[in-house]
Amino acid sequence: MIRSITGRCKQYGLVVIFTVISCIRLSAQTDMDAIMMSKNNFCTGLMYNHSAWSNYWEGTLKRNNDNLGTVSANMYAVMGNYGVSDKLNLLFGLPYVTTKASAGTLHGMKGLQDLSLWAKWMPVETKLGKGLFSVYGLGGISFPVSNYTPDFLPMSIGLHSTNLSLRAMLDYQVKNFFVTVSGTYVYRSNITIDRDSYYTTESHLTNEVFMPNMVNYQLRTGWRSGRMIAEAILNQSNTQGGFDITRNNMPFPSNRMNATTAGINIKYDIHAVDGLSLIGGGSVTLAGRNVGQASSINGGVFYILDFSKKEKSAKKSTSSEKYN
Amino acid sequence: MKKVILASITITAIITTQLACNKAVPNVTDDLPALAPAKTDINAGTWQPVLLTGPTEFAVAAPAAVNTPGYAAELNEIKALQKNISGEQRARIAYWGAGSVLRWNEIMRDLVAKYNLPPYQNADGTYPAPSAANPFAYPLFPFANPPYSARAYAYISAAQYDALVAAWYYKKLYNRAAPYKNDAGVAAVLPQTDLPSYPSEAAVVAGVTAEMMKLLFPGEIANIQQKLEEHELAAITAGTATRSDIEAGEALGRLVAQKFTARARTDKAGAAGGTAADWTALETNTVGRGEIPWISQEVPKRPPMLPLFGKVTPFLFDANTTATLRPGPPPLTGSEQMKKETAEIKDLVDHPTRERIRIVQFWADGVATSTPPGHWNAIAIQDFLGKNFSEVRWARNLALLNMSQMDAAIVCWDTKFTYFNPRPSQLDPSIKTLTGLPNFPSYISGHSTFSGAAAEILGYIVPEKANAYQAMAQEASVSRMYGGIHYRSDCEVGLVTGKKVGAYAVARAKADGADQ
């Protein structure tokens, strides 16, 4: 009989840098990983992410820009994950983002970005061959919580669309080695901007901007134990439509933004304090289109609050077969 | 619990699908009603043209009588087209039926936005100049920056107006009624009018515009020709013009355009880019006056945008008047006043509010936009739409607006390159801008000059909105302070100067015969 996975604080590890040239879209890692919080446990914490790029893709042309120099973004996020049951988790993430260009005259931007909420469900967890196989379904929504402007790229802190995401995820673990794959479809609402016309590949006499939807694929693999997770992550994000930045033009929210990123991620539970864990990671952008070639590092601290009636020892339970 | 989740996922999927189907974004002018002028302005042939010596400068031959076999054949062409009219053809008739001047203005603004991109630098740090002789090579010709565009809008609008004045003269003279009035077998797909159809006003506007484009957007000739043919076919299929109405109209339009093109070739705009010697002289002369000169803050340093545009021949006054409209100098770069004004901008950009950012963005009209004159065209058009103007009045009103915009650009650029004053972010490099930093001197603000002129002439044309236009001009002006790219003096003096230019347009409007 397979016991459901119990309370390890999720890997909030690698915050997906969805660069929009510099804009960061937060994707709480727990919505990308194959780990569940156990019932009545609440894991919460703070994340910091720094990303920067000097080169970007103007359409498919890679270039630099001496009037931007290095464009960097800092993200500070509060995140959490609550175990409604061992098979159903609810998650949230809320980032505050600042941007800056090292050269030129453009002003940086800052503000609260988008609140994301996810429901994560694990309908299947079963032994398969020598390992443990699990299936996840996730639904998420994110929406801007401040009136930041998306129309000042690459300095804008986000794209200001409301996104609905559906994700399927499979995980297979043999001993301490695991592989997780996921695919996500992201519906993005149209946005409005502060001007009454704009040009994409033609003029639009309106303040509303059509935002193409997106798909995302991710592969994660590495080593899991009760105390530690170390993994490598390959991520591909594609915009289903949109247009290329024209020569020497500025980026625009409805550009075709694609990115291939690779990263590593480590989570470590502190022995001394029960329920406390540290995470850290980094990523680089291998290929892209209409995005900055961002590199990023991140770190965070998380703590599990146990609201269950169980013995306190449940917090650091290692009963999960995934961890042992 | 599983059921709840399954239900949630299903609902989410349904909502997603529903929303996805409704994401198409229409333009505000996609579904306009057909133009139905309140008056035909049948005497517009007597209105004062801009460049033509009179409405008969270009002869239009008398049309065949409506009882001739030739005319009957033309009616048969219309009947045949109407017999097999497709949904697409109806959509095109509806599109063009909203107004010829309106639609060609939108096409112009589309082209300006498309071509309004600064060229990327050469490997050696110099910048390539677009070449009219080879418009398809990078950088594409033209770089439709604000002065270039202001001039392009003015030439096209003024040429449309003159051509329509001539057309109206011949309409009244020959008095050939619309096809549907001569034959009950021809349907009037668009609203009927008593305006004579020879020569066709649709073809006049299409012809004059297409011909002007050869000079202004030479890389777009093929696309424009296609639109012209589509427009003319729509007019015939709608039953509003016969083949000979169209041919006479297009020919007249092209002849009038050629006169404007000849003027444009000698109006000194071609030399407005200046030479390396000119650029250096601007700097050394300013230093010679003891002032800090403007320096490009782009990397690599880009030559200033069209420094000799102030010498271009204006439409509303003669070239000698330009200097008399030039305001006095800005505060000296070393003065307390300039320190105070720089500090004001520094404080604004260090404490941006969302509302100020909205204002900056709304009026930014920077790269890849139709520029401030294009924005004022869009504003004007929204208000003209409810007025049921005839095509010739549409053209007259936009010609007045756009001549004011071109002349505002001339006076503004003359002022900018007389004083060659540095931007706030040059005097204080800690000033970061909330919009793109224009690559030319600060004093006076182009947006303010354009907007001051536009508000003045539009307030005359649509008097009930005069105060609203002044408020918009004020907002456009101050947006440049909020954006961190202009001092208060630039904006305030720019507005006043623009207003003076606009007054010339108002004086012309009062005297051109259209309002008598």
pLDDT in tens, A66-85: 999 999 999 999 999 999 99
pTM for the full predicted model: 0.94
Torsion sign across C-alpha atoms B51, B53, B55, B58:
negative
pLDDT in tens, A244-277: 999 999 999 999 999 999 999 999 999 899 899 9
What is the nearest CA distance from A256 to chain B, expressed in angstroms? Answer: 16
How many helices, marked H, and strands, marked E, lie in chain B? 19, 0
Cβ atoms < 10 Å from Cβ of A319? 15
**For the residues B457-462, what does the mean pLDDT come to?**
98
Q: Give ∠ CA B404-B485-B496 in degrees, rounded to 5.
A: 35
Domains of chain A and CATH, by start: 29-323 (2.40.160.40)
For residue B17, pLDDT over 70 is answered with: no
Those residues whose C-beta lies under 8 Å from the C-beta of residue A54, and which sit 6 or more positions away, are A64, A69, A70, A71, A293
Q: Which of A54, A56, A105, A117 to mutate to test the interface with B (most CBs of B within 10 A)?
A: A105
Smallest Cβ–Cβ distance between A139 and the set B8, B113, B120 belongs to B8
Domains in chain B: boundaries = 73-265, 288-511
Same fold, B73-265 and B288-511: yes
Q: Which of A151, A197, A208, A209 to mutate to test the interface with B (most CBs of B within 10 A)?
A: A197
For residue A24, pLDDT over 60 is answered with: no
Going by C-alpha positions, the residue among B274, B335, B316, B295 that lies closest to residue B442 is B295
Residues in chain A: 324
Pick the residue from chain B with its C-alpha nearest to A66: B299
| B394-433 residues touching A, CB cutoff 8 A | 425, 431-433
Contact A139 B434 (CB under 8 A): no
- B9 band by pLDDT with thresholds 50, 70 and 90: low
* Residue type present at position B223: N
DSSP element (H, E) containing B448: helix B446-461
Q: What CATH number matches the domain at B73-265, 1.10.606.20, 3.30.390.50, 3.40.640.10, 3.50.50.60?
A: 1.10.606.20
Contact B370 A197 (CB under 8 A): yes
Q: Is A89 helix (H, G, I), strand (E, B) or coil?
A: strand
| Pairing verdict, β A191-192 and A177-188 | unpaired
- Helix B488-511 crosses helix B391-419 at what angle (to 10 degrees)? 140
Question: Look-up: residue for tokens 């009588």?
Answer: B65
Q: What is the pLDDT of residue B20?
A: 56
What is the nearest CA distance from A318 to chain B, expressed in angstroms? Answer: 26
Contact B357 A202 (CB under 8 A): no
Q: Is B362 on the interface with A (CB under 8 A)?
A: yes
Question: What percent of chain A is predicted at pLDDT more than 90?
Answer: 80
Smallest Cβ–Cβ distance between B120 and the set A107, A204, A247 belongs to A247
Rounded CA gap, A6 and A85, in Å? Answer: 10
Those residues whose C-beta lies under 8 Å from the C-beta of residue B189, and which sit 6 or more positions away, are B82, B85, B90, B93, B97, B237, B238, B239, B240
- A12 band by pLDDT with thresholds 50, 70 and 90: very low
Going by C-alpha positions, the residue among A69, A20, A27 that lies closest to residue A47 is A27
For residue A309, pLDDT over 90 is answered with: no
With contact defined as beta carbons under 8 Å apart, do B373 and B404 qualify?
Answer: no
Contact B369 A197 (CB under 8 A): yes
**Cα→Cα distances B367→B116, B291, B309, B356, B412, Å:** 6, 30, 19, 20, 19
For the domain spanning B288-511, the CATH number is 1.10.606.20
Contact B113 A199 (CB under 8 A): yes
For residue B11, pLDDT over 90 is answered with: no
**For the residues A116-129, what does the mean pLDDT come to?**
96
**A190-211: burial string, b at 16+ Cβ within 10 Å, e else:** bbebbbebbbbeebbbbbbbbb
> B29 to chain A: which residues are within 8 Å by CB?
205
Q: Is B429 helix (H, G, I), strand (E, B) or coil?
A: coil
pLDDT in tens, B81-90: 999 899 999 9
- A226 band by pLDDT with thresholds 50, 70 and 90: confident
For residue A16, pLDDT over 50 is answered with: no
Q: What is the pLDDT of residue A2?
A: 33
**Summary mean pLDDT of chain A:** 88
Pick the residue from chain B with its C-alpha nearest to A120: B5
Rounded CA gap, B386 and B94, in Å? Answer: 17
pLDDT in tens, B258-304: 999 999 999 999 999 999 999 999 999 999 999 999 999 999 999 99
Contact B5 A104 (CB under 8 A): no
Cβ atoms < 10 Å from Cβ of B235? 27
> B8 to chain A: which residues are within 8 Å by CB?
119, 139
> B1 to chain A: which residues are within 8 Å by CB?
84-85, 87-88
DSSP element (H, E) containing B452: helix B446-461
For residue A31, pLDDT over 50 is answered with: yes
For residue A143, pLDDT over 70 is answered with: yes
Question: What percent of chain B is predicted at pLDDT more than 70?
Answer: 96
> B368 to chain A: which residues are within 8 Å by CB?
198-199, 246, 249-250
Beta bridge mates, A80: A44, A92
Rounded CA gap, B213 and B115, in Å? Answer: 13
| B477-496 residues touching A, CB cutoff 8 A | 484
The 3-state secondary structure of A1-19, one letter per residue: CCCCCCCCCCCCCCCCCCC
Q: What is the pLDDT of residue A68?
A: 97
**Region for B169 from its dihedrals, namely left if φ exceeds 0, alpha if ψ lies in -120 to 50, beta otherwise:** alpha
Q: What is the pLDDT of residue B5?
A: 56
For residue B162, pLDDT over 90 is answered with: yes
For residue B199, pLDDT over 60 is answered with: yes
pLDDT in tens, A101-114: 999 999 999 999 99
In the Cβ-directed half-sphere of B172, how many Cα atoms lie within 13 Å?
Answer: 14
> B362 to chain A: which residues are within 8 Å by CB?
194-196
Q: Is B109 helix (H, G, I), strand (E, B) or coil?
A: helix
Which tokens sit at A241?
Answer: 């439509």
Those residues whose C-beta lies under 8 Å from the C-beta of residue B512, and which sit 6 or more positions away, are B47, B48, B396
> A88 to chain B: which residues are within 8 Å by CB?
1, 5
Smallest Cβ–Cβ distance between B26 and the set A119, A139, A206 belongs to A206
Contact B437 A210 (CB under 8 A): no
Contact A249 B113 (CB under 8 A): no
Pick the residue from chain A with its C-alpha nearest to B483: A107
**For the residues A39-54, what does the mean pLDDT come to?**
95
Rounded CA gap, B190 and B93, in Å? Answer: 8
For residue A9, pLDDT over 60 is answered with: no
Rounded CA gap, B313 and B151, in Å? Answer: 10
Which tokens sit at B89?
Answer: 């053809």
pLDDT in tens, B480-492: 999 999 999 999 9
